[in-house]
């Protein structure tokens, strides 16, 4: 059923990096919810695999010395949703990954696998972009950290060099403190569905809850990679909460997004949905932050 050349099981992060260096054509496998399906379909026939599934050092969620929320790349979707730090600080991420697949997939699938696939439809990706996540990458030459917007190079390709693995995702304190968000996923059904388009918005309100001090918005399936909508952010930041500004914000996203036609959705339909979702997600985020919209 699975046509593979060899399977190597890493004993540590350093061992995984060395194995990938020694076997440059090898594919990393963690939960296997994507890789094994692709192998079964023959897309990765004859591949070598480096398993990192047993590396518990890459699991778990904590707050580090700089007050970043640190999410180990092997943390499963279900554990993210249930985690107290996520629920308290960035609940929208738990809500977003809880829309992935079914319970079995969420129990085995990992946040690292979801981002390293490089696909624009990944349910975690737009929320991580909206919250300005930092990707931690470890290789034989050490550790580097890059903004998630720079991690995605093109559709299906991320910035991982030979001998490197993604070890964690960090949410900076500045990006989550006093911020509240909402994610909307559009699909033809509620379960086991790849997003036709996804929109994630978070806000930080003024003390009197009347002004939008800071807004971040990002999309999946609005371009070849997950993306922010900077024109919309620039339009709304610092403005009063009212219908005119909210609707202007939503229309402004059309200056930034570039969805494509596909069998799953037409370009003009995705553009229409992007505007609708931006308004709805912003209103919900404002309500979660204690404002009225």
Edge-first strand order for the sheet with 4-9 is 4-9, 47-51, 27-29
Distance in angstroms (rounded) separating the CA atoms of residues 213 and 78: 32
Kindly report the CATH number assigned to the domain that includes residue 170. Answer: 3.30.465.10
Question: pLDDT tens digits for the chain (293 residues)?
Answer: 667 889 999 999 999 999 999 999 999 999 877 777 777 777 777 789 999 999 999 999 999 999 999 999 999 999 999 999 999 999 999 999 999 988 999 999 999 999 999 999 999 999 999 999 999 999 999 999 999 999 999 999 999 999 999 999 999 999 999 999 999 999 877 667 788 999 999 999 999 999 999 999 999 999 999 999 999 999 999 999 999 999 999 999 999 999 998 887 899 999 999 999 999 999 999 999 999 98
The enclosing H or E element of 158 equals strand 157-158
Q: Is residue 117 part of a domain?
A: yes
Give the domain range for residue 15.
4-51
26 and 78 in a single domain? The answer is no
Residues 243 and 270 in one domain: yes
The CATH code of the domain that includes 43 is 3.30.43.10
How far apart are the C-alpha atoms of 14 and 138, rounded to whole Å?
8
Q: Rounded CA gap, 265 and 175, in Å?
A: 32
Out of 111, 145, 174, pick the residue that ends a domain: 174
Q: What is the CATH number of the domain that holds 215?
A: 3.30.390.50
Q: CB neighbours (10 Å) of residue 34?
A: 19
In angstroms, the CA 55 to CA 36 distance is 19
Locate 182 and state its tokens.
């909402």
Domain boundary among 174, 194, 216: 174
Q: Is residue 293 part of a domain?
A: no
CA–CA separation, 193 and 38 (whole Å): 17
Instruction: State how far Cα 7 lies from the chain centre.
Output: 28
pTM: 0.94
| Total count of domains within the chain | 3
- Residue 192 shares a structural domain with residue 251: yes
Domain boundary among 152, 174, 196: 174
Q: Is residue 241 part of a domain?
A: yes
Same domain, 213 and 279: yes
Question: Are residues 8 and 66 part of one domain?
Answer: no
Residue 188 shares a structural domain with residue 168: no
Same domain, 76 and 93: yes
Handedness of CA 129, 112, 97, 181 (dihedral sign): negative
Q: Are both 193 and 239 inside the same structural domain? A: yes
In a domain? residue 267: yes
Q: 104: helix, coil or strand? A: helix
Backbone angles phi and psi of 152, in degrees to 5: -85, 115
CA distance linking residue 88 with residue 256, whole number of Å: 31
């Amino acid at each position: 059923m699975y046509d593979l050349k060899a399977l190597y099981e890493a004993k540590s992060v350093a061992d995984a990096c060395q194995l990938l260096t020694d076997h440059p054509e090898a594919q990393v496998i963690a939960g296997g919810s994507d890789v094994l399906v692709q192998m079964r379909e023959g897309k990765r026939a004859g591949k070598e695999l480096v398993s990192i599934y047993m590396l518990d050092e890459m699991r778990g969620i904590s707050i580090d010395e700089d007050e970043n929320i640190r999410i180990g790349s092997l943390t499963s979707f279900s554990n993210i949703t249930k985690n107290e730090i996520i629920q308290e600080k960035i609940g929208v991420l738990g809500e977003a990954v809880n829309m992935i697949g079914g319970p079995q997939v969420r129990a085995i699938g990992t946040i690292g696998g979801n981002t390293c696939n490089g696909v624009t439809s990944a349910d975690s990706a737009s929320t991580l972009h909206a919250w300005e996540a930092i990707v931690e990458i470890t290789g034989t030459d050490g550790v580097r950290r890059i903004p998630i917007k720079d991690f995605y190079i093109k559709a299906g390709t991320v910035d991982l060099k030979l001998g490197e693995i993604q070890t964690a995702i960090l949410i900076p304190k500045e990006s989550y403190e006093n911020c509240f968000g909402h994610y909307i996923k559009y699909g033809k059904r509620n379960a086991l569905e790849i997003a036709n388009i996804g929109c994630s918005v978070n806000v930080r309100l003024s003390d009197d809850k009347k002004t939008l001090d800071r807004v971040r918005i990002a999309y999946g399936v609005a371009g070849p990679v997950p993306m922010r909508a900077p024109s919309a952010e620039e339009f709304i930041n610092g403005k009063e909460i009212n219908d005119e500004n909210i609707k202007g914000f939503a229309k402004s996203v059309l200056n930034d997004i570039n969805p494509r036609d596909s069998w799953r959705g037409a370009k003009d339909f995705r553009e229409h949905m992007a505007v609708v979702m931006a308004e709805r997600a912003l209103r919900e985020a404002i309500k979660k932050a204690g404002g009225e919209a």
